[in-house]
Each structure stands twice: as structure tokens, then as C-alpha cells.
Amino acid sequence: MDQPNQAHDMTDVTYGEAKVLRGSGGETHQTATESTPVLTTQQGVPVADDQNSLRAGARGPTLLEDFHFREKIFHFDHERIPERVVHARGYGAHGFFELTDSLAEYTKADIFQRPGERVEAFVRFSTVAGNKGSPDLARDVRGFAVKLYTKQGNWDLVGNNIPVFFIQDAIKFPDFVHATKQEPDRAFPQAQTAHDNFWDFVSLTPESTHMLLWIMSDRTIPRSFRFMEGFGVHTFRLVNAEGKSSFVKFHWKPKLGVQSVVWNEAVKINGADPDFHRRDLWNSIAAGDFPEWELGVQIFDEAFVEKFPFDVLDATKIIPEEDVPVRRVGRLVLDRNVDNFFQETEQVAFCTQNIVPGIDFTNDPLLQGRNFSYLDTQLKRLGSPNFTHIPVNAPRCPFAHFQQDGHMAMHNPKGRANYEPNSWGLGPREAPKTGYTSYPEPVEGPKLRVRPELFADHYSQATQFYQSQTEIEQTHIKNAFVFELSKVETLAIRERVVSHLRNVDETLALQVADGLGLETLPDAAPPARKPITGLKPSQALSILANPLPTLAGRKLGVLVSDGAPSELLEAVMDLARTEGLMVEVVAPKIGGITCSAGKRVPAQQKVNGGPSVLYDAVVVLLSDQGAQMLAKEATARDFVTDAWAHAKFIAFNAAAQPLFQAACVTPDDDGCTELASPGDVTKFLQKCSAVRFWPREATVQAV
């Protein structure tokens, strides 16, 4: 009997100067030649395919017998001692999840049965690429990992603030992270992708294209964790009490809406306060302004899967909310800071394999590989198979098993029996009716290293994402590509990226090529599968197309000097706090100032330590003498200049004009408000609900 072709009909393809082979799923294969060594396992076994894990059929589950993948991911998991390989820079908090809408129709998971019922939660946010000491505002994907301590055990929803990923198969995860991290011969750059290795990898991995549009967007420079969406990324299953299965994608929708900073602002925040996101989360919880998200689900069936033009097992694809609306079924509230960072945030261990009855996996090859990987990682990082004995990792429901010993064992079985079955009537027993059972999905197919054909469309949804952005956001994406690729030293890599962008949007490709100064526009990269044209833009993919007109959770910086007008200052402080704004006073000295009424006003920041990049909007209230003094202070001039350049709403009194003149800023557009009376403060705050005065940005860039 003829066997299937394991090489699955590779074809030649050229990306710029790089000649490679491409598999049927569009993946890149680089094969050995006389001048290059053969890739092998650590045991010296030649590797035929390093792009695809071994599966039971093209859309089947990853097989445990894939020794090459297991060895590769096992070694990768153990690369850092004791730091996480990825997501090292993290911050967490305690809270609760409360169900608001029952999903009993779709799942038997206890957590989704009774509206109004709460379970404990622990959430850890993180950057992916940077080490533990890296800054918070690096352009990077943010981890959004949630541990829910349910009555049926711990459920870990380990996701990101972006709904797609760079790769389709977990066997490529070590390669992707190696290329993203600092280059091994020089140990830089740190916490950034603006270097040759990263762009070389993604330019040779067309499946990354959709994710590239996301990471070059404002999504990767969030204003804070509180203004950030979360996604489960993968397609999971829900299974109800009758054994019926549905598919589901999980979303976390922030109560305060989504907000990002601009790139120049991010660069300066990293210098002014590299702990910006950490401080923001800690302070908001400490102040009782508890961050909150709604849990949303996209639920769909096999009939939708059959007609959807992309494969729902492909982690580089989304299901647009217009196709399957997000149903909001619960809320996540963070209401308690940790008592000890190391004990809780650093030792918390998330594993994608941690699910509960009523929730199941799909055959997404990236998810399948993560299920292998996370347990290895926690064993190495925490030093023992007993990491679940650490309080933050322990379930809150009753638990019992026969696992014993190992480093730091704290819950060994009691009595004679440490096995089952046993004759002593001792120890825990199976629970066929309530215990976890996997959905009996039929699986059939030859053992192959292949990808499904629909995985090969790498450009259609990238185009949809780009065309869903506002003009401002598209400009930011273009600028991000130009900035990052300007740090790439190899011309061929820059050209290769542009060749992929031509398949996304021709105008974007032309703008990036022009920004890089390319003498000629490279040919479009040959697509592995003809892109779908005419996909409708999705408003849900844009930040600016979904404004939430509220000041709640934002921060106002008030620059003052001795003699600042008391009536205006009091109005700003009182009205801002009434609107839910956090307010910080920035003064020449940290001891504060004496206002015109003779009242002492304490300061939270000294002018050279409280730049305007730390605030969502700013107010400048000065005396004549104070304005003359601060006009000579470089950091005070920067306070005004940066607020103007970053399109922030600005309020000021007439006496402050000398500072603006010294900063070469004329505050005369609609984003600026002169305060002559307390009534003007109300007008200013109404403007501030728009977060930024975007019309100014184009004029600043034009200069």
C-alpha cells in the first residue's frame, strides 16, 4: 500500500534574495545543501521537517510520540534559570470573577451555571520579549493570564492582549522567541523587535504577516493594563451536560475602554518611569478604583466552521465580531494587590492544560504544543513538581490524589495506601459522573507533518485588519514599520518585508518603502494561497473607532507654581475628581506650593520627575513670577512641548503664556482651553473625554 508523501509536495519560492521551499500550508522550509549542515535532534537523528509537528491527519491532534517536537520544546522551556523564558516582565493582582449570564445551555462547567456567583481570581499581565528588568512600555505583545479558582479545580485562561499569534504550529515557538530576543552574540537589543534577527525570521515566515500588522499598531503600546483587551487566542470547545459540543473563543473587554499611548510618548515614559504599568495597576487598586473587564464569548458550531473561509484551528486568524457577536457573560474585578511580589506574582504558574469539566481543547497545533510546554516550564522555573503546593497555585476546592514526594512536598497522602486500586478502602476514587472527560471527537488520518490547506492564506485578514483602522491608526502602523525596519541593517530583509506588505495593502507598502528610502519597490511575495478579496472592515478591530467618552480611570497632571490662582486650582481638583480622574500636582519642589489664597498645596511630583507623558491631559496654572521662572526650566518647557506634540488636551491660565512662548507652543487649537473662571474647567473636562485631540497630530508630524 502506498504511503502518503511526508514532504507534501514542496515548491520553490523566492523572497527577495532568499530562495526557500514552501509546504502546502504556506510554511517555509530551508533544506540542507552541500555547504550547510543537516539539522538533527540532540541524539543526532536527521530532521525531515522542522516546521510542522506530527499530527493524526492534517487537522488532527498533535501526537505524543513526536520526539523531535518534545525534545525541542523541552529544551526551550528550560533555557532560563530561574527567569521565565518569555513573559518574564509581569505584574499581578487578586480579584474575583462573577457570572452575569448563564451558559448552562452550552457547558456543564460549574463556573458558568449560576449568575451572581463569584470565584476567586488571580491575573498576571506581562510583556513577552523583555527580561525581568526591562521597561513596561516596550512595543510588545502583552500577556493576559487569568487563573480562576473554580469549584471543579483551577481553570487557567492563558492569553494575550492580541487575538492572533505569529506562528501556526508550536514547533516554531523556540525559533520565533530566539529570533525575537536579544541577539545571542551581542545580548542586545533588549525588549524590542527592531533588529535583524526578528525581521529576518518573520519575513521568511509569511504566516506572521497578520500578527505584524497588530504589533505595529497601537495595541502593543497600551496606556495601562486597565485599558487593555484580553483574548484566549485559540478556539476551545464547550461541552454541555448532554455531551453536545460547541466552539468558543474567549474575550476580556475592559470596562474603561481600550487606550494606547503614542510611540514618542512610550519612549519617554520608559525613561521617566520604567514601572509605569506596574505603578498604575498598584495605585488604582490601592485607591479603590478597581480595574474591571467583562468576559465575552464567541460561540459557534460545526456549520459555521464549514462555511467560514478560514480555519478556526489557525491561531493566526480571528473570527470577526460582525460574523459572531461577542456575548458578555461575566465580569472580572481586581480588588487586592499582592502581599509579596515574589511569593505570588513571580511564583504563580499558569498552564494551558488546566481546564475544568465542560471546557475542552481543539486540535489547534499551537494550543496542542502549549499544553506540552507549560508543565515543563513550571517544573524548571519553580524547581519541583510540587509547584501546586505554593498557595497562589493551589486549588481552592477540595483535592486529593496519590502523587507524593519530590522537592518541597507538603501534601503527601496519609496512611498506608499511596496507590489505587487498593484493598484498604483508603484514598480518593474515580468519579465517572462528575469527573473530567474529553469530548469524543472522531480522529482519523495518517501520521503526517502537514498543515491544513486553509492555513496557507497569510494575507487576507492582515488586509482586513489594516483597512479596519482609522486614518490616524494606519499612519501609526506605517510609522512603526518604518521605525523598526530602519533599525534593520540588512537591505534584503527590509525589502522582503515590503514584498509581503504589497499583498496586504499597496499604499501601505509604498509608504513604508518610501520611509525606508528603497530605490525600487520589490515584487510582491508570491502568496501560498490566493488571498480573499473584499473582506469587510471590522469596526471592533480599531481602537479609535470605538471611543468610550469617559474620564474615569484617566490621570490629570496639574503644573503649578507659587501664587497659582486658588479658585481655578480648587475647581480643577474638585471637578476632575468628581469625573473619576486621578489628579497629580506637579510643582517646582516636591514640598508643594502656596497658592494665591495663601493655602499650602502638596505636590505629588517635582517638575523634573513628573513629565507630561505620565498624564492623559494637563493643566498649567501659574503666577506671573512662576511662569517667568519655569520658562527658564528645560523640563517645564518639555512638559508643555510634549503635551502639545502628543495631542493631549491642555488647559492653562493667562499668566502661563510665557512658559508656552518659551516652549515655542501656541495653544490656539480646539484641544486647548484658557481658564478664566471655574466654568471654563467644566468645558475643558468635557473635551478631555475624547482622550486626545487627534487633528493636532498631523500638523505636528508635518513639522
Task: Name the CATH code of domain 555-702 (choices 3.40.50.880, 3.30.70.360, 3.40.190.10, 3.40.50.970).
Answer: 3.40.50.880
Give the chain's residues under pLDDT 70.
1-9, 81, 701-703
Enumerate the β-bridge partners of residue 545. none
Spatial separation of the C-alpha atoms in residues 566 and 147, rounded to whole Å: 48
For residues 550 and 570, the answer to whether their CB atoms sit within 8 Å is no
Per-residue CA distances from 354 to 102, 358, 682, 683 (Å): 22, 12, 50, 51
Q: E strands, 84-227, where? A: 90-99, 118-127, 142-150, 153-160
H or E segment to which residue 647 belongs = none
Number of other CB atoms surrounding residue 354 within 10 Å: 22
For residues 87 and 126, the answer to whether their CB atoms sit within 8 Å is yes
* pLDDT the model gives residue 655: 98
Q: Which residue type occupies 470?
A: T
Residue 606: name the closest of 639, 578, 631, 628 by CA. Answer: 639
For the chain, what is the mean pLDDT?
94
* pLDDT the model gives residue 703: 38
Catalytic pick among 68, 94, 154, 160: 160
Spatial neighbors of 663 by CB under 8 A, at least 6 apart, are: 637, 638, 640, 641, 644
The cell for 430 is 474515580
Q: Please write the tens of the pLDDT for every residue from 406-464.
A: 888 888 888 899 888 888 888 898 888 889 999 999 999 999 999 999 999 999 999 99
Topology of the domain comprising 458-541: Hemocyanin, N-terminal domain (1.20.1370)
Give the DSSP per-residue string, 150-171: ETTEEEEEEEESSS--S-SSGG
* pLDDT the model gives residue 599: 96
Spatial neighbors of 698 by CB under 8 A, at least 6 apart, are: none
**Which sign, positive or negative, has the C-alpha torsion 549, 551, 554, 559?**
positive
Spatial separation of the C-alpha atoms in residues 23 and 35, rounded to whole Å: 23
Give the DSSP per-residue string, 478-503: HHHHHHHHHT---HHHHHHHHHHHTT
**For residue 563, is it left (φ>0), alpha (ψ between -120 and 50) or beta?**
left
For residues 359 and 239, the answer to whether their CB atoms sit within 8 Å is yes
Q: Please write the tens of the pLDDT for every residue from 309-328.
A: 999 999 999 999 999 999 99
87 is catalytic: yes
Q: Which residue type occupies 353?
A: Q
The cell for 43 is 541524539
Number of other CB atoms surrounding residue 223 within 10 Å: 27
* pLDDT the model gives residue 5: 46
Spatial separation of the C-alpha atoms in residues 224 and 227, rounded to whole Å: 5
* pLDDT the model gives residue 67: 86
Question: Which residues of the chain form CATH 1.20.1370.20?
Answer: 458-541
Number of other CB atoms surrounding residue 4 within 10 Å: 11
For residues 567 and 616, the answer to whether their CB atoms sit within 8 Å is no
Helix (H, G, I), strand (E, B) or coil at 244: coil
Spatial separation of the C-alpha atoms in residues 622 and 566, rounded to whole Å: 10
Per-residue exposure over 242-268, b if at least 16 CB sit within 10 Å of its own CB, e if not: eeebbbbbbbbbbbbbbbbbbbebbbb
Q: Is the N-terminal amide bond of 274 cis, ω within 30° of 0?
A: no
Spatial separation of the C-alpha atoms in residues 368 and 228, rounded to whole Å: 26
**Residue with grid cell 512600555, as numbered in its chain:** 137
411 is catalytic: no
Catalytic pick among 87, 210, 458, 476: 87
Q: What is the value of pTM for the model shown? A: 0.92
Query: Cα angle at 69 between 66 and 72, to 5 degrees?
Result: 145
* DSSP state at residue 240: -
Q: What are phi and psi of 460, to 5 degrees?
A: -60, -50
Architecture of domain 77-393: Beta Barrel (2.40)
Spatial neighbors of 571 by CB under 8 A, at least 6 apart, are: 678, 681
Spatial separation of the C-alpha atoms in residues 88 and 82, rounded to whole Å: 10
Question: Which residues of the chain form CATH 3.40.50.880?
Answer: 555-702
Q: Which residue type occupies 71?
A: E
Q: Is the N-terminal amide bond of 82 cis, ω within 30° of 0?
A: yes
* pLDDT the model gives residue 79: 80
* pLDDT the model gives residue 30: 87
Spatial separation of the C-alpha atoms in residues 149 and 128, rounded to whole Å: 25
